Amino acid sequence: MNGIYLDHAATTPIHPEVVATMATFLATDFGNPSSIHSAGRQARHRLDDSRRQIAKTIGANEKELIFTSGGTEADNLAIIGTALQQQTFGKHIITTQIEHAAILDACKYLESIGFEVTYLPVNKDGIVSVDALVDALRPDTILVSVMMINNEVGSIQPIQAIGERLLSHPCCFHTDAVQAYGITDIDVNALQVDLLSITAHKINGPKGIGLLYKREQVKIKQRQFGGSQERLKRPGTENMPGIIGFEKAAVMVYGKENERSSYYHQLKALMISLLDEAAIDFTVNGAVTLTTPLILNISFKGTKVEQLLMNLDLAGVYVSSGSACTAGSIEASHVLTAMFGEKHERTTSAVRFSFGYDIDEAAIKETVRRVTEVVKRLRTLNE
Ligand SMILES: Cc1ncc(COP(=O)(O)O)c(C=O)c1O
């Protein structure tokens, strides 16, 4: 067995059926959906169709989707677009300390232009308290943003409970569902969210395409200016091959969330029990029952994360630490720091394994064999 890719929370290999669908589209369709001639009308027809299919997967109306270049742009549009639109009602925003940089840095930007942001802490399982969130609400709170599933430790946030508690407050509610889509049933009405971000490359779709769900009556300010695409909220000629690939990937996972979830549960449980048998000193970060089965974040006592990543890479096990989008910089993870405190040993010896449909039990067994060898060697070296 050669390299084992266990970094599906960073990105996933594009599914062959998605490649085939996109290749056919690229070879045959090139029209601009804004053109009125028949090539344009054909593209418009495909665009409308994809929008309808994708909207269905989150229980939304097709008019409520804004296609973006991915999760980062969707998050930025949700946070900054809402803040700028709603600022006459107040300038207070609530989020959590464990959000993706696309949220945290958008909030930092808003602070620099006069908004006030409350960053809620999380408990040792990486979960925010609904009561603490409600306590933080103020009459001038215009937006609450809490991710559905954390991308580093996989902790599942109580989105539906938050949505229910926010019904009595006029603020907007956004959730970053990038790590949840395809593994958890998502219904925007059941969740009571106003805004929700998704990206295609985490579900074996193409990179550079995602969406922001925006409830029809919610008003946000556009961040880009130009044509009238995406109901003026995101001008620019649509990324048609990306949208077609997104639709294919979305349709392939839709309705299979439970099946996918239980498959990853098996892989995760197997990996933990084999590591137990290997008798190496490790701790799972986040409670197994309260995390997504897709992500397993582990601290290996007596090792350093940079050593681990390098040696696992040499051993052909591809994993990451911290947020993939900031990989390369090995600062302590802000998520683990929020869970365990500054400079805690767990924050400097943790790696994230994340599973995909192409991973089987044999790959997990081989991973554990290689991980055990690396960890034992590093611990002897560090003694
Ligand atoms: C939770 C979360 N939000 C947002 C993003 C950014 O998405 P994209 O890479 O499509 O910009 C990521 C990517 O890792 C993520 O995990």
Q: Where are the alpha helices (DSSP H) in the chain?
A: 16-28, 38-56, 71-86, 101-112, 130-136, 159-165, 188-191, 240-253, 257-277, 305-314, 334-340, 345-348, 361-382
Assess if residue 29 is contained within a domain.
no
Catalytic residues: 325
What is the distance in A from the centroid of ligand 1 to the CA of 72?
A: 6
- To test the pocket of ligand 1, the residue of 72, 145, 153 to mutate (highest count of ligand atoms within 8 Å of its CB) is 72
- To test the pocket of ligand 1, the residue of 8, 159, 178, 292 to mutate (highest count of ligand atoms within 8 Å of its CB) is 178
Distant-in-sequence, close-in-space partners of 74: CB < 8 Å, separation ≥ 6: 66, 68, 197, 198, 199, 210, 211, 212
pLDDT of residue 322: 67
Assess if residue 8 is contained within a domain.
yes
Assess if residue 301 is contained within a domain.
yes
Helix, strand, or coil here: 245?
Answer: helix
Query: How far apart are alpha carbons 130 and 113 in whole angstroms?
Result: 28
pLDDT of residue 312: 97
Q: Closest residue (by CA) to atom 5 of ligand 1? A: 71
Structural domain count, the chain:
1
* Backbone phi, psi, residue 25, to 5°: -65, -45
What is the distance in A from the centroid of ligand 1 to the CA of 271?
A: 25
What is the distance in A from the centroid of ligand 1 to the CA of 122?
A: 20
Give me 227's structure tokens. 């044509």
What is the distance in A from the centroid of ligand 1 to the CA of 362?
A: 29
pLDDT of residue 323: 44
Q: Closest residue (by CA) to atom 16 of ligand 1? A: 151
Assess if residue 98 is contained within a domain.
no
Atom of ligand 1 nearest to the CA of 325: 14
What is the distance in A from the centroid of ligand 1 to the CA of 139?
A: 31
Pocket of ligand 1 (CB under 6 A): 70-72, 75, 100, 102, 147, 151, 176, 178-179, 199, 201, 210, 324-325
What is the distance in A from the centroid of ligand 1 to the CA of 10?
A: 8
CATH at 323? 3.90.1150.10
Residues of the chain with pLDDT under 50: 323-325, 327
Assess if residue 356 is contained within a domain.
yes
Assess if residue 234 is contained within a domain.
no
- To test the pocket of ligand 1, the residue of 107, 157, 199 to mutate (highest count of ligand atoms within 8 Å of its CB) is 199
Residue-wise pLDDT tens digits, 277-330: 998 999 999 999 999 999 999 999 999 999 999 999 999 999 998 644 454 556
Atom of ligand 1 nearest to the CA of 150: 1
Assess if residue 353 is contained within a domain.
yes
Range of the domain at 314: 4-12+257-382
Assess if residue 303 is contained within a domain.
yes
What is the distance in A from the centroid of ligand 1 to the CA of 49?
A: 25
Give me 62's structure tokens. 């097709």
Atom of ligand 1 nearest to the CA of 201: 10
* Backbone phi, psi, residue 110, to 5°: -65, -35
Query: If we measure between CA atoms, which residue out of 150, 147, 167, 171 comes closest to residue 159?
Result: 147
User: Which strands make up the sheet holding 210-214, listed edge to edge?
Assistant: 65-68, 210-214, 195-199, 172-176, 141-145, 92-96, 116-120
